[in-house]
Structure 1
């Protein structure tokens, strides 16, 4: 079956006449008519009803039309694909925890694209244990996680994310000077990731001061904790990167605490020991704090 004959059939349908189809195809009217007739003979079916100069699709023509259009589309796509000059692109594949992909990566990747414009990226997200597994299985070149340990893994501090207290607009602590932990522990507190290092680090902060924090809600993610604070349910200690946009927009306010020691959430790059390092690893080693 000749593709030109199918093309003539579709064009006659689209333009409503042989004359207009011939003009669009830069062919003569007899040539287009001959192609339609050849196609009808091959199919053993009349595709158009002819009433003088007016052409309308026959029932068989209506049945054949979607097939003809699909054949033409597939042919055109294949032609375009084959005529393209192949572009060989380098690829970077890595995995990270969701908080990193949401809050830290965007600014870094802007700089990465400027430096490596010919590199495409695939990024997987998951819990630290899932990222570790992908690194161990060589599914990714490296991972970005909370602190994890494994005998086959080397790690590098990617970013130290300060943990600070955040409150909702209008909270009394915003106007209070010299806020101390004693001013905070009775407030309705929202803790995230029960059992995590962050959880124990913040809880221990109050324990060392012999204070029993008023934890009214525990949630499994910092994003949820942040939303709860913005809703006015309570206040929360959160990684600074998690709340920086909301602080700019004044949906959240950071409260300096006079007697709080520096707390930070360590994010680390992990990669296999004894393997050739990813050619892009040095960029991320230098970029964790530089571009954030």
Structure 2
């Protein structure tokens, strides 16, 4: 039974490709005697001479020429197999994603089907929590990546994933629908359902009403965007909401945006975080998918 060492075949192919034992040794990060030993070992395995040596010059023999295409094919097959094995090994069977509740509601359901198409053999586990909790879980490797509010941590890679504009939304027959310009005073006397997720951006919404003689007419405060949205649809009040959570209701004609110049430019930024150098394939795929989702 013939057993051929793949390293010996590699040395043989490199000598022919580089034109000399010395250059082959440099390319393979080996000493020249090591390359010579591998060629001699291969010649013993095949029971033939592969090269004629004339001083520093080497010439491939007829036997070597006949063996060369098989050697190249063997080496190529081995390298492809090694790449395939390492790729499979690098992809986890389970990929754990930590995210805020809003991301779990509005981004993950659109992201996961596309991610599954990229990595069909991977299973996914989703964990929700507030930004600080998710940051801690990524640091402790309880989850692989996290979708959080705009944060920067020296031990984490943090990439901007999505910026969600905050606007004022009303129900379909509210008197503000179609208004070209509203004053802060007009908004302040309306019943308000105030959604606040704890991000610093919401302080800018509060500041819009700071200089009024009377505080805004906040009827209900909640940290749940789904509740706030349904209360507006139920005509309990109007609300400042992130655009991502109201896409469907706007399409269905249940909610209407109203421009408030004082709140232009206020948005919620979602970042994708991970430990440095980890899960690069997933991060690249998610960022590519994110470009598609944010353009919808």
Say whether the 8 Å CA contact 1:182–1:211 is kept in structure 2. no
1:260 corresponds to: 263
Q: Which moved more, 1:146-155 or 1:168-177?
A: 146-155
- Count of residue pairs the alignment pairs up: 204
| CA distance in 2: counterparts of 1:180 and 1:224, whole angstroms | 26
1:105 corresponds to: 108
Quote the offset at 1:123 in angstroms. Answer: 1.4
Say whether the 8 Å CA contact 1:91–1:121 is kept in structure 2. yes
1:233 corresponds to: 236
| CA distance in 2: counterparts of 1:130 and 1:259, whole angstroms | 32
Q: Are residues 126 and 259 of structure 1, via their aligned partners in 2, closer, same or farther at CA, if it must alter by over 3 Å?
A: closer
Pair 1:206 & 2:209 matched: yes
1:145 to 138, 145, 148: 148
Quote the offset at 1:218 in angstroms. Answer: 1.1
Q: Are residues 134 and 260 of structure 1, via their aligned partners in 2, closer, same or farther at CA, if it must alter by over 3 Å?
A: closer
1:282 to 277, 281, 284: 284
Say whether the 8 Å CA contact 2:148–2:271 is kept in structure 1. yes
Say whether the 8 Å CA contact 1:194–1:218 is kept in structure 2. no
Superposition pairs of residues 98-137 of structure 1, within 5 angstroms: 98-137=101-140
| CA distance in 1: counterparts of 2:280 and 2:130, whole angstroms | 22
Q: Are residues 201 and 288 of structure 1, via their aligned partners in 2, closer, same or farther at CA, if it must alter by over 3 Å?
A: farther
Quote the offset at 1:189 in angstroms. Answer: 1.3
Q: What is the TM-score with the length of structure 1 in the denominator?
A: 0.63
Q: Which moved more, 1:211-220 or 1:118-127?
A: 211-220
1:28 corresponds to: none
| CA distance in 1: counterparts of 2:163 and 2:214, whole angstroms | 27
2:253 to 250, 255, 258: 250
Question: C-alpha deviations, 1:214-244, integer Å up to 9, x for none?
Answer: 2222112222211221121111000001111
Say whether the 8 Å CA contact 2:180–2:259 is kept in structure 1. no
Say whether the 8 Å CA contact 2:197–2:223 is kept in structure 1. yes
| CA distance in 2: counterparts of 1:115 and 1:98, whole angstroms | 24
Say whether the 8 Å CA contact 1:180–1:260 is kept in structure 2. no
Superposition pairs of residues 2-21 of structure 1, within 5 angstroms: none
| CA distance in 2: counterparts of 1:150 and 1:90, whole angstroms | 28
2:13 corresponds to: none
| CA distance in 2: counterparts of 1:100 and 1:289, whole angstroms | 15
| CA distance in 1: counterparts of 2:122 and 2:257, whole angstroms | 38
Gapped regions of structure 1 (runs ≥ 5): 1-87
1:223 to 223, 226, 232: 226
1:184 corresponds to: 187
1:61 corresponds to: none
Q: CA RMSD in A?
A: 2.4
Question: C-alpha deviations, 1:11-31, integer Å up to 9, x for none?
Answer: xxxxxxxxxxxxxxxxxxxxx
Q: Which moved more, 1:175-184 or 1:123-132?
A: 175-184
Say whether the 8 Å CA contact 1:203–1:213 is kept in structure 2. no
Quote the offset at 1:276 in angstroms. Answer: 3.0
| CA distance in 1: counterparts of 2:205 and 2:250, whole angstroms | 21
